[in-house]
Amino acid sequence: MERNKLYKAIYGLAKELSIDKDELYSILWRETKKSSMKLCTDAELKCVVDYLKLYKNTNALQNKSSSTAQRKKIVALAYSLGWDKTSCGQYQKGLMDKRLNGLCEKQYGISDFRWLNKEKAWAFIETLKKIKAKQDADAENQEHDKNMAIAAT
């Protein structure tokens, strides 16, 4: 690659990634131990281009995966559903993850809820909310039926 094309590639990637001049030169220093692009060889400049491309791909991947807030919401909903306890009400380590991952596998074919992308994570949250609403309605109906039975006696 011609030297001017390397410069254009570096500055183009930096602009695309919203990297300012100071940050770009710190990347240059970290990758080449040189303070100026003019002092770098073509091979060193290619290393900088490769680093920026890798940085771009990593950012794109991170932006597609579910956020920490989404994963926390999923776990909070699972706790509210009592999925961390057995049917006897005893806490069992790993049970909640097993239940969440089982539902995730069934719905999306993904074996771990932490691997959902943003869109599927929101859909999974909505599914858990519906399950919680149904669980609450069932509990309310049971309470109502119990009160009716007591009143009948």
- Based on the domain organization, do 90 and 148 belong to the same domain? yes
Judge if 14 and 73 occupy the same domain: no
* Confidence label for 61 from pLDDT (cuts 50, 70 and 90): low
Residues 95 and 57 placed together within one structural domain of the fold:
no
Residue 116, Ramachandran bin (φ over 0: left; ψ between -120 and 50: alpha; else beta) = beta
Query: Does one domain contain both 125 and 142?
Result: yes
pLDDT the model gives residue 149: 67
Helix pair 95-108, 68-80: axis angle to 10 deg: 110
Give the domain-ending residue among 45, 64, 83.
Answer: 64
Residues forming a β-bridge with 85? 91
* Whole-number Å distance between alpha carbons of 69 and 60: 18
Which of helix, strand or coil describes residue 84? coil
Looking at the structure, tell me whether residues 36 and 9 fall in a common domain: yes
**Tens of pLDDT along 16-28?**
888 888 889 888 8
Same domain, 39 and 56: yes
**Per-residue pLDDT tens for 102-147?**
999 999 888 888 888 888 999 999 999 999 999 999 888 777 667 6
Mean pLDDT, the chain, rounded, equals: 86
Please indicate, yes or no, whether residues 83 and 135 belong to a single structural domain of this protein. yes
One domain, residues 75 and 132: yes
CA atoms within 13 A on the CB side of 108: 21
The pLDDT of 145-150, averaged and rounded, is 68
Full residue range of the structural domain in which residue 53 is found: 3-64
Same domain, 25 and 76: no
95 with 72, same domain: the answer is yes
- The answer to whether the predicted template modeling score (pTM) of the entire model surpasses 0.75 is no
Q: What is the 3-state secondary structure (H, E, C) of 12-65?
A: HHHHHCCCCHHHHHHHHHHHHCCCCHHHCCHHHHHHHHHHHHHHHHHHHHHHHE
Domain co-membership, 36 together with 107:
no
In total, how many domains does the chain have?
2
